């Protein structure tokens, strides 16, 4: 059963086309990663699903419901948080959950249960503004879990967290996934998504440029990492290699995607060009590689691209 279905979903702001005909389907039980660089339209897409942003065009359904009144009922089966945790800074964590619980029609007992799950029971009486970023993110997770939702939508839940905080968030997501929840996770931390998600969609400039299971997106591409003394000569030689489909720089060296996995042939070719490699190894393609191929972005999305492509 499709939990989320969008068709041609579009949002145009006065100065920018934020979401451009996004069509995707999230099935029940999937842990769905929604990936894209900053400003690629992820939050806007989720905002439309949650009813806080009006689509310019296109349609969407939650649990099969598409009409406004039905959508309101369908949203009762969803727990979501967008971007930064949004709470009243002058209220305690517990009081903030009381507000969310009242809106969702949930009793007090569940508030304590959720605070317990995210490890905030001891800090429940303290004001939200005194929380660390990790605690704020955990409180946001507690709020999404209040109504024991079938679908949990998390927008950048690991934003600003230290490695320990990230692990805690990842553990909670896994716990929820193990309980059979459908999770829609927007993130630009690719290795996080690769570890957590079963399915992904990649968006770039508001458009979906790839969608499928993580294995499908990563694909079976063969690639190799090559290093030599003269990087420029190596780069030129690899570009000219008939079996190479792309070449790009990485921290490990130059990464060449190959049409066949005959690394010996590549080594022979480079030697023939007068280039003797200091390192040649088969390389497993990661989600980050797929992401870079699909979006033309570097894996660290906050920095300028260091990647060069040869198609």
Question: Which residues contribute to the site for other proteins (CB under 8 A)?
Answer: 47, 50-54, 68, 72, 75-76, 80-84, 86-91, 95, 98-100, 102-105, 143
Q: Which CB atom, from 149 or from 253, has the smaller least distance to other proteins?
A: 149
Distances 197 to 143, 183, 191 between C-alpha atoms, Å: 21, 9, 10
Contact 150, 182 (CB under 8 A): yes
Nearer to other proteins, 88 or 309 (CB): 88
- Distance from C-alpha of 103 to C-alpha of 12, rounded to nearest angstrom: 30
DSSP 8-state assignment for residue 106 = -
CB atoms within 10 A of CB 202: 26
CB of 87 to other proteins, least distance (A): 7
Q: Which two tokens stand for residue 166?
A: 């990230």
Nearer to other proteins, 90 or 191 (CB): 90
Reported as type and span, the H/E element at residue 198 is: none
Instruction: CB nearer to other proteins: give 135 or 256.
Output: 135
Q: 105 or 272, CB closer to other proteins?
A: 105
Q: Is 30 helix (H, G, I), strand (E, B) or coil?
A: coil
Q: Which residue has the tokens 């490890």?
A: 119
Nearer to other proteins, 103 or 306 (CB): 103
User: SS3 of 217, please?
Assistant: helix
Measured distance CA(227)–CA(245) in Å, rounded: 18
Minimum Å distance from CB 294 to other proteins? 28
Shortest distance, CB of residue 252 to other proteins, whole angstroms? 41
CB of 92 to other proteins, least distance (A): 8
Comparing CB distances to other proteins, the nearer of 72 and 215 is: 72
**DSSP code string of 173-233:** HHHHHHTT-EEEEEES-HHHHHHH-SEEEEEETTEEEEEEEHHHHH-S-EEEEEEES-HHH
90 vs 309 by CB, closer to other proteins: 90
Listed in sequence order, the residues at least 6 apart from 289 whose beta carbon sits closer than 8 Å to its beta carbon are 218, 221, 223, 255
Q: How far apart are the first and last CA of the chain?
A: 39
Smallest separation (angstroms) from other proteins to the CB of 204: 22
CB 89, min distance to other proteins, A: 7
3-state helix, strand, coil in the chain (%, to 5): 35, 30, 35
Cβ at position 199, least distance to other proteins in Å: 23
Least distance (Å) between residue 174 CB and other proteins: 23
List phi, psi (to 5°) of 69. -65, -40
């Amino acid at each position: 059963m499709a939990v989320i279905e969008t068709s041609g979903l579009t949002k145009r702001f006065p100065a920018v086309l934020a979401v451009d005909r996004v069509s995707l389907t999230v099935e029940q039980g999937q842990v769905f990663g929604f990936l894209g660089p900053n400003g690629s339209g992820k939050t806007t897409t989720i905002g439309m699903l949650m009813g806080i942003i009006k689509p310019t065009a296109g349609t969407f359904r939650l649990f099969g419901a598409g009409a406004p009144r039905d959508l309101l009922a369908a949203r009762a089966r969803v727990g979501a948080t967008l971007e930064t945790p949004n709470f009243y800074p002058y209220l305690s964590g517990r009081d903030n959950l009381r507000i969310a619980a009242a809106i969702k029609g949930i009793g007090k007992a569940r508030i304590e249960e959720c605070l317990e799950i995210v490890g905030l029971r001891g800090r429940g009486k303290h004001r939200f503004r005194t929380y660390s970023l990790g605690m704020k993110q955990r409180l946001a997770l507690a709020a999404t879990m209040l109504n024991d939702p079938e679908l949990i939508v998390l927008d950048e839940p690991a934003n600003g967290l230290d490695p320990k905080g990230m692990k805690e968030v990842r553990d909670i997501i896994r716990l929820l996934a193990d309980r059979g929840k459908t999770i829609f996770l927007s993130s630009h931390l690719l290795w996080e998504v690769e570890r957590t998600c079963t399915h992904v969609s990649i968006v770039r400039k508001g458009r979906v440029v790839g969608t499928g299971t993580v294995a499908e997106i990563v694909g079976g591409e063969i690639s190799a990492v090559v290093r030599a003394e003269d990087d420029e000569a190596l780069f030129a030689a690899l570009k000219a290699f008939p079996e190479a489909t792309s070449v790009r720089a990485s921290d490990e060296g130059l990464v060449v995607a190959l049409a066949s996995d005959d690394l010996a042939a590549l080594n022979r070719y480079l030697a023939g060009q007068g280039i003797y490699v200091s390192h040649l190894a088969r390389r497993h393609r990661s989600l980050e590689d797929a992401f870079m191929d699909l979006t033309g972005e570097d894996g660290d999305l906050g920095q300028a691209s260091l990647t060069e492509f040869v198609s």
